């Protein structure tokens, strides 16, 4: 195994940020991850055919309110945040689905497919 000053176990987004700051401070860092990809809960995978999902990271966009992106020059390495629409999609076993959109009207249409009264209340 390579010689390192700091060993980081796990390659989730918080561990990667930590490792980057430690490396920036001049230490030799090794990151070990058991999965086939890095990112921890902040990964996108196709778990329903034809639909990609963020598996767990829903608050990672808060990184934009910290100095991390600037400090680590993440845009230089390809970081780009996309404004999603739809915002949320939940498929059900019977083939129906619930979707929320940036548009209140479109979201209400989705709600109305389950409950017109709830769609009106949401509006």
Averaged pLDDT in 10-residue chunks for the chain of 123 residues: 90 95 98 91 84 75 88 94 84 93 95 96 93
Same domain, 8 and 60: yes
Same domain, 65 and 118: no
* Domain count of the fold of the chain: 2
Tens of pLDDT, residues 96-110? 999 999 999 999 999
Q: How many helices (H) and strands (E) does the chain have?
A: 4, 6
Nearest to 51 by CA among 83, 98, 106, 107: 98
Same domain, 91 and 103: yes
């Amino acid at each position: 195994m390579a010689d390192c000053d700091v060993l980081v176990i796990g390659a989730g987004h918080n561990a990667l940020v930590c490792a980057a700051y430690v490396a920036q401070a001049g230490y030799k860092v090794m990151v070990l991850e058991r999965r086939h990809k890095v990112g921890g809960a902040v990964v996108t995978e196709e778990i329903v055919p034809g639909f990609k999902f963020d598996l767990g990271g829903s608050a990672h966009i808060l990184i934009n309110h910290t100095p991390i992106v600037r400090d680590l020059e993440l845009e230089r390495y390809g970081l780009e945040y996309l404004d999603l629409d739809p915002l949320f999609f939940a498929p059900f076993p019977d083939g129906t689905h619930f979707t929320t959109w940036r548009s209140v009207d479109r979201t209400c249409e989705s709600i109305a497919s389950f409950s017109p009264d709830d769609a009106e209340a949401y509006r």
